[in-house]
Amino acid sequence: MEPCPKRVRAYLGGALVADTTHALLVWEVPYYPAFYVPRRDVRAKLVENGGRTHSPSRGEASGQDVLAGGRRAARAAWLYEDSPVEGIRGHVRFEWEAMDAWFEEDEEVFTHPRDPYTRVDVLSSSRHVRVEVDGVSVAESTSPRILFETGLPPRYYLPKTDVRMDLLDPTDSVSYCPYKGRAEWWSLRAGDGPEAPVRTDLAWGYRYPLPESLGIAGLVCFYNEKVDLYVDGELQARPHTKFS
């Protein structure tokens, strides 16, 4: 747990729910933090709904409905008023997805708060990268962009001209990353004909990434965890991550 120096705002129904420069970053899980907002900086009405939840570390919390912009978001906030962790008493923990939008300063943030200890580097490379699925070569490039992100394996983003785009079918899936932006996804047919197996949402790309990740704009990436990835002729071990 540590103070967040940024101005943090949340909106629901077009109305301001919270506006603070004194948010706390609380790591409830190892991967990323959550915002805890001082009760005095909450602008929306909170209505206790009788819900309860228990955390072994943070204690008991009471569920709150959030009323703002003519809408009511059920169990969208939690109060740990008697928490054994003194620092979070008097703070409100909002459910991220229950809000319409979150902002750090004047930039919208997606998925979760940015972790100040996560770094993203996009580097041009001349390494020879080849991707195979079920023995079929689906991409091969000597001009990848390698994205290094704290806590994750390197990701190899490849030009579409070096990818068998005829084997990729766009899906309706969309995902968001607080460091890279909005991603579009493709499924892959590993072979020709109607009987070819389909790997759903195996590849993704960012058409308009956030400024810190502009180097991967318009490129395609495959899950290291789910394909045979060769780098300079050497088959890479499949990493074990939450995406495996």
CATH of the domain at 104: 2.170.150.40
The predicted model gives 29-56 an average pLDDT of 94
In a domain, 84, yes or no: yes
80 and 124 both lie in a single domain: no
The pLDDT tens digits for 120-139 are 999 999 999 999 998 999 99
Q: Is residue 115 part of a domain?
A: no
Q: Is residue 209 part of a domain?
A: yes
Among candidate residues 65, 88, 109, the one where a domain is terminated: 109
User: Alpha-carbon torsion 46, 48, 51, 53, what sign?
Assistant: positive
Residues 231 and 124 in one domain: yes
Mean pLDDT of the chain: 95
pLDDT (0 to 100) of residue 191: 66
- Do residue 159 and residue 71 come from a single domain? no
Q: Which of 48, 83, 109 corresponds to the end of one domain? A: 109
Closest by CA position to 203, among listed 182, 184, 217: 184
**Residue 194: per-residue pLDDT:** 66
104 shares its domain with 126: no
Domain match, 104 and 154 both? no
Q: What is the pLDDT of residues 188-232, one digit of tens each?
A: 987 666 677 889 999 999 999 999 899 999 999 999 999 999 999
Domain count, the chain: 2
Residue 48 has a pLDDT of 94
Q: How far apart are CA 93 and CA 55, in angstroms?
A: 13
The single residue listed with the structure tokens 């070569």 is: 137
Q: Is residue 215 in some structural domain?
A: yes
- Residues 231 and 129: beta-carbon distance below 8 Å: yes
Domain residue limits at 88: 2-109
DSSP bridge pairs for 177:
181
Residue 101 shares a structural domain with residue 136: no
CA distances for 33 relative to 93, 122, 125, 190, angstroms = 11, 23, 32, 38
The reply to whether 10 falls in a domain is yes
Q: Are residues 168 and 197 in the same domain?
A: yes
Residue 241: inside a domain, yes or no? no
Q: Is residue 219 part of a domain?
A: yes
Whether 218 and 152 map to the same domain: the answer is yes
Same domain, 181 and 77: no
Yes or no: say if 8 and 59 are a contact pair by the CB < 8 Å rule.
Answer: no
Residues 133 and 227 in one domain: yes
Average pLDDT for residues 164-193, to the nearest whole number?
Answer: 91
Whole-Å CA distances, 217 to 139, 171, 183? 17, 19, 10
- Is position 243 within any domain? no
Same domain assignment for residues 127 and 197: yes
Asked if 148 and 94 sit in the same domain, the reply is no
Instruction: Report which of residues 242 and 170 the model is more confident about.
Output: 170
Terminal alpha carbon distance of the chain:
29
Domain boundary among 63, 83, 109: 109
- Our separate counts of H helices and E strands in the chain read 0, 22
